[in-house]
Amino acid sequence: MELTIINTFTDQPFRGNPAAVCFLSEEKNTEWMQQIAKETNLPVTAFIINLHKNECSLRWFTPSIEIPICGHGTLASSFFLWGKGYAQKNKPIVYQTKSGVLTSKLVDGMVQLEFPSLIEKEAIAPDLLIKALGVAPTYVGQNKWDYLIEVQSEEIVRNLNPDIDLIAQLPVRGIIVTSQSDSSEYDFVSRFFSPAQGLNEDYVTGSAHCCLGPYWKSKLDKNIFQGYQASERGGVIKVEVVEDIVKLSGNAVTIFEGNLTL
């Protein structure tokens, strides 16, 4: 069975967010998939199952848990299927997932994902959250999975050194921290911390941009953005908000191809 490692939301090796893609011709049990994800020890291992005419099941695992949605794992899966010729490039790929039906297209040489938007609502920040971040937010919101925190400057986002142990005590998937970008190259920057998923800091998080897109749309009065996730590896996401859909576009680079011998 093929296993490929792909760097996503980047056009450079060793940047962006790495994902392992495992191409399966038949169902495997959850325990087996979790063991493979632990063995690869990447932010996510994606399992493509029973591909037929550009449609398949897709599941995502961190080294510690199965997760309900994953942007970079979906982008990696699409890049793999088109690159290997398993899926037709002129047709969308349709994924059956734990978050419903998700689709991807090849647009202007980039993989474009269509994900449901995540709308946050203004919230009162718990004392634990403020203590964990160590900075004063200018805005705090919450969607069904995460807290969204806006801070005053890109410098604050980049220099943030939160207390991960405190964040792990919060009853959420993760913490999105964002600000408007100082650079004309990007509209906003962000970082994402998710110890609940076994990811102290994720490198580039597609699903976080399902919330960042609508948020910055309301702030900047536009619907197409260039976002930069300012993690250690860094990554670029083109974000387009269309009604209740967020289109996430990015590049990818294959850095390893092999086979599972199990």
Q: What is the pLDDT of residue 217?
A: 97
The structure's pTM equals 0.95
Q: How far is the C-alpha of 83 from the C-alpha of 63, rounded, in Å?
A: 26
Q: What is the mean pLDDT of residues 107-122?
A: 96
Radius of gyration, alpha carbons of the chain: 18
Q: What is the mean pLDDT of residues 233-241?
A: 98
pLDDT of 17 above 90: yes
Q: What is the pLDDT of residue 230?
A: 98
Return the residue matching tokens 């069904």.
144
Tokens, residue 211? 């919330």
At 216-232, the pLDDT tens digits run 999 999 999 999 999 99
Q: What is the mean pLDDT of residues 129-136?
A: 96
Whose CA is closest to 62, among 53, 70, 74?
70
Q: What is the pLDDT of residue 8?
A: 98
Q: How confident is the model at residue 28 (pLDDT cuts 50, 70, 90)?
A: very high
Q: How far is the C-alpha of 205 from the C-alpha of 199, rounded, in Å?
A: 11
Structural contact between residues 206 and 72, judged by C-beta atoms closer than 8 angstroms: yes
pLDDT of 1 above 90: no
pLDDT of 57 above 90: yes
Q: What is the mean pLDDT of residues 167-177?
A: 97
Q: What is the pLDDT of residue 246?
A: 97
Tokens, residue 225? 């953005």
Q: How far is the C-alpha of 21 from the C-alpha of 47, rounded, in Å?
A: 6
Structural contact between residues 251 and 13, judged by C-beta atoms closer than 8 angstroms: no
Q: How confident is the model at residue 151 (pLDDT cuts 50, 70, 90)?
A: very high
pLDDT of 111 above 90: yes
Task: Please state the three-class secondary structure of 7-51 as a single string.
Answer: EECCCCCCCCEEEEEEEECCCCCHHHHHHHHHHHCCCEEEEEEEE
Q: How confident is the model at residue 209 (pLDDT cuts 50, 70, 90)?
A: very high
Pairing mode, strands 199-202 and 235-242: unpaired
Close Cβ partners of 158 (under 8 Å, ≥ 6 residues apart): 189, 230
Q: How confident is the model at residue 260 (pLDDT cuts 50, 70, 90)?
A: confident
Q: How far is the C-alpha of 15 from the C-alpha of 18, rounded, in Å?
A: 8
pLDDT of 237 above 90: yes
Structural contact between residues 22 and 2, judged by C-beta atoms closer than 8 angstroms: yes
Q: What is the pLDDT of residue 181?
A: 97
Close Cβ partners of 54 (under 8 Å, ≥ 6 residues apart): 87, 88, 91, 92, 93, 94
Q: How far is the C-alpha of 192 from the C-alpha of 69, rounded, in Å?
A: 15
Residue % of the chain over a pLDDT of 90: 97
Whose CA is closest to 116, among 151, 165, 77, 69?
69
